[in-house]
Amino acid sequence: MPELIEPHVRVRASFLEAVEELVADGRAYDGSMIGRWISLYGDRWADEAGFADFVGYLQADATPHAPRPTTHVPQSTWWLVEGDTYLGRISCRHLLTEWLAEFGGHVGYEVRPSARRQGHATTMLRAVLPHVHALGIDPALLTCDDDNVASRKVIEAAGGVFEDQRGVKLRFWVPTR
């Protein structure tokens, strides 16, 4: 049974396999979260110490004073795993910048290609909502591209209420209680 965990070194091998899938899927350098992680740690996470540094970076990113680009905000990340198999990630931005309030939202998620269409995104989103609520966020803003039917269904299944469309982004408010 999949479970939501804080990033952990025990899933390193599976995480790296998932990265290979995401790179093959075109997600490596498209401005995605995985693209950022690759640029920061991709050259050293193949060894245990480098991966431990990466996990430490993810944990520190949730703290208010961690070093980050000026346009970034504190963010908590969780991984969906089954045993030692990495299935996907979900992150919650603690604050919204003007851009995030328009296009990015509080919560973003990604499922590795080989684990898609199995309900994992819905599982992650439902499981993370209490954590988001504990951060003082209710409701949470989620966005998806207007042509991403799967993501729209995930957001709606979690109680997301459509607000509007801005450019190609659909904006939803999801209760976190």
Higher pLDDT, 148 or 35: 148
Domain that holds residue 109: 3-132
| Euclidean distance between CA atoms 82 and 9, whole angstroms | 14
CATH number of the domain at 117, please: 3.40.630.30
| Euclidean distance between CA atoms 152 and 46, whole angstroms | 34
Q: Is residue 140 part of a domain?
A: no
Q: Is residue 155 part of a domain?
A: no
Name the average pLDDT for the chain. Answer: 94
Neighbours of 125 (CB within 10 A): 24
pLDDT at position 29 is: 67
Q: Is residue 157 part of a domain?
A: no
pLDDT at position 100 is: 94
pLDDT at position 30 is: 67
Q: Is residue 160 part of a domain?
A: no
Q: Is residue 87 part of a domain?
A: yes
Predicted confidence (pLDDT) per residue in 99-135, tens digit: 999 999 999 999 999 999 999 999 999 999 999 999 9
Q: Is residue 73 part of a domain?
A: yes
pLDDT > 90? residue 19: yes
Number of structural domains the chain divides into: 1
Q: Is residue 169 part of a domain?
A: no
Between the two ends of the chain, the Cα-to-Cα distance in Å is 23
What is the pTM assigned to this prediction?
0.94
Q: Is residue 63 part of a domain?
A: yes
Inter-CA distances, 8 with 13, 15, 27, 80, Å: 11, 10, 22, 11
